[in-house]
Chain A
């Protein structure tokens, strides 16, 4: 057996659980799983059928991992998949969002999703997935920088700090003994300019005790779900826990990202081989509690809103009802999509659907089902508790003409909560509650300098490569996108440029 094929089979051997054995043995190849898969339904392409992926893994399993299969292969009665076959089918494993909808129609409840993850892990362990430039970059960026988009810690702090300072908002950085550790998923801090801002304003306004880390700036979602690199995924989780240890926090705050939800709800214990050390609180559960407690005042919006259930948060982690409960407090005109909850159609963006550029055309084609769902609701706004879903849905609304040109028809759920909160705070004359976090209120100036974003930005200025960081910020498309709605950020940037050119001025 060739080296890469051997590594592929060894990876399957290593990662396969009894449940996976049942899945591979029980499948009848009846093809009913295709009835649920948007990729297949919208194209009718057999290569996008769930069984196109499961068949390869089943063939490898039967040919190389079972006694009668090995005998039959040796006698020439069975054609075992070759390395070429494995390579040829690789793309199909990433033309799938591992959304698990196919399980809902399988008469035996088999999880194709688990097979997809087994397959992705095998491609990654065998080094084959590195043939894809995006997956390669995710793995290498995570290995080298612990950030799947390849941002350095100064870049993340510099960009978020720039936006926060522009808005006059503070966040607590590296505050030991805070209740919650807030780590933003890479997609959030890379693709959504004001992800940090509105979320931070909510936490500040409600007086939540939290801290951000200056060391852990990515949750590892992509390495766990796109690359399915179990070893790196474990490293990311362990580093996350170690940072929680170091900072002495009580809980880990799970922010709005469906893949993070699934990782922390289910995959973490598999990757770590033990349950996560820290209690996890999802930001949605937290916001709901804050609203119910009255710590987060909200005034319902009158906009007609529909909810997209993220596969990873609803179907794969069972959180659907929390989102609806939140919406019952922040909107007066909520309308359900059909089908909804665990039966909802995928946004087609998760687990690589959105991140891999070669999927763009196909993703847009299959999103016709999603566009139909949205159109049928007559909603003015779509909300979802997942950053990647929101990016994918935004694109879908634009492609299918559901949104007016330039209009943002999709908002992450916390943005809707934010609007309802801002409305309530404005009426009470308490908007200033959003600017200062509980952990920094009343602190002495030294503490403040060491633990505020302003202080951290000042520290960045002492880095030897600070001028290069400013160059990068000036070219950064996210800074430009932010500047389109917040032009004053350019003044902040000019300030940083001056500091870079004359550090002692």
Chain B
């Protein structure tokens, strides 16, 4: 039943995903081509700050907010966010790598495993099976197919990521449930001693966070082989996330890279904002 559903919705989901992706990224492309650009700082400004090295600027942009604010204002949320992002970046890299390897093997006409039937070699290229290979890349059958002799290394690394994901996501979930997301719960500095700010529990965060919470636990159960076939639930939840991706705050994953790049450039020339 779930497998049939996956086969039906997967193409629809990917179409929605690609259209959304195209629309949102297309706007940046259009802006880059047709909009005026910021022309940088005055080149002959005597006494201008020395250019900050790239590494230092990147560090300031990536670590600065945590080191100067979040660690102090809301440590559970701050540490949770870091753990969660370490996990998500590792996991997404793993999924992308798996998808690329799978694509290459399909193009080469090689057989793929049939996850539902636990067959090592098959020509089952239904969407549900392909998704189960990608999303189940931490399981023995799929990881061996994808990474061969490197499978234990990959699985080991992603086990650490799953650990971070469980801890990080729990921390974020707790802060959200306690309405402490984006709250200030402790002093940031002496000058603002005693300043406290209430947090929030917006519905879109709740939805996405719960979805991710379920994805992490289905992955855990699948890896531990506790529930047979749960990888398909994992894949279905993944698809739900794909659908939401271009239309919710999740899209910051894509735009975040550009945002960090421009923020770093501003740092390097000392303009910050």
**Chain A interface residues (CB < 8 Å from chain B):** 15-19, 21-23, 25-32, 34-36, 40-42, 44, 66-68, 99-114, 251, 264-266, 268-270, 273-276, 278-282, 284-286, 288, 315-322, 338-339, 342-343, 345, 369-370, 372-373, 376
A105–B182 alpha-carbon span in the complex (Å): 11
Asked if B106 lies at the interface with its beta carbon under 8 angstroms from chain A, I say: no
Asked if B12 lies at the interface with its beta carbon under 8 angstroms from chain A, I say: no
Q: Which of B33-54 contact A (CB under 8 A)?
A: 35-49
Cβ B69 vs Cβ A35 within 8 A: yes
Binds A, one of B127-135, B221-229, B264-272: B264-272
Across the interface, which residues of B come within 8 angstroms of A265, CB to CB?
41-42, 45, 48, 271
Q: Which of B237-266 contact A (CB under 8 A)?
A: 249, 251-252, 255-256, 258-260, 262-264, 266
A269–B249 alpha-carbon span in the complex (Å): 33
Closest A residue to B72 by beta carbon equals A35
| A435 smallest CB distance to B (angstroms) | 27
Q: Decide: A34 near B182, CB < 8 A? Known: A110-B263, A113-B273.
A: yes
Binds A, one of B1-9, B158-166, B191-199: B191-199
Cβ B46 vs Cβ A282 within 8 A: yes
Asked if B151 lies at the interface with its beta carbon under 8 angstroms from chain A, I say: no
A40–B195 alpha-carbon span in the complex (Å): 10
| B265 smallest CB distance to A (angstroms) | 9
Cβ A107 vs Cβ B81 within 8 A: yes
Across the interface, which residues of A come within 8 angstroms of B258, CB to CB?
22, 26
Asked if B65 lies at the interface with its beta carbon under 8 angstroms from chain A, I say: yes
| B191 smallest CB distance to A (angstroms) | 4
A34–B192 alpha-carbon span in the complex (Å): 13
| B123 smallest CB distance to A (angstroms) | 39
Question: Among B35, B202, B272, which residue has its beta carbon within 8 angstroms of that of A104?
Answer: B272
Give the number of residues in B that approach A within 8 Å (Cβ atoms): 61
Cβ B271 vs Cβ A30 within 8 A: no
Asked if B209 lies at the interface with its beta carbon under 8 angstroms from chain A, I say: no
Closest A residue to B255 by beta carbon equals A26
Render B190-218 as a binary contact track against A, CB cut-off 8 A, 1 for contact. 11110101101010000000000000000
Q: Decide: A269 near B35, CB < 8 A? Known: A26-B259, A369-B191.
A: no
| A208 smallest CB distance to B (angstroms) | 14
| A270 smallest CB distance to B (angstroms) | 6
Cβ B182 vs Cβ A316 within 8 A: no
Q: Which 6 A-B pairs have the closest CB atoms?
A: A318-B270, A109-B263, A100-B273, A285-B47, A318-B49, A26-B255
Cβ B271 vs Cβ A32 within 8 A: no
13 contacts between A and B (CB under 8 A): A18-B32, A18-B37, A25-B27, A25-B28, A26-B252, A32-B65, A99-B273, A107-B81, A109-B267, A111-B273, A114-B273, A265-B271, A281-B47
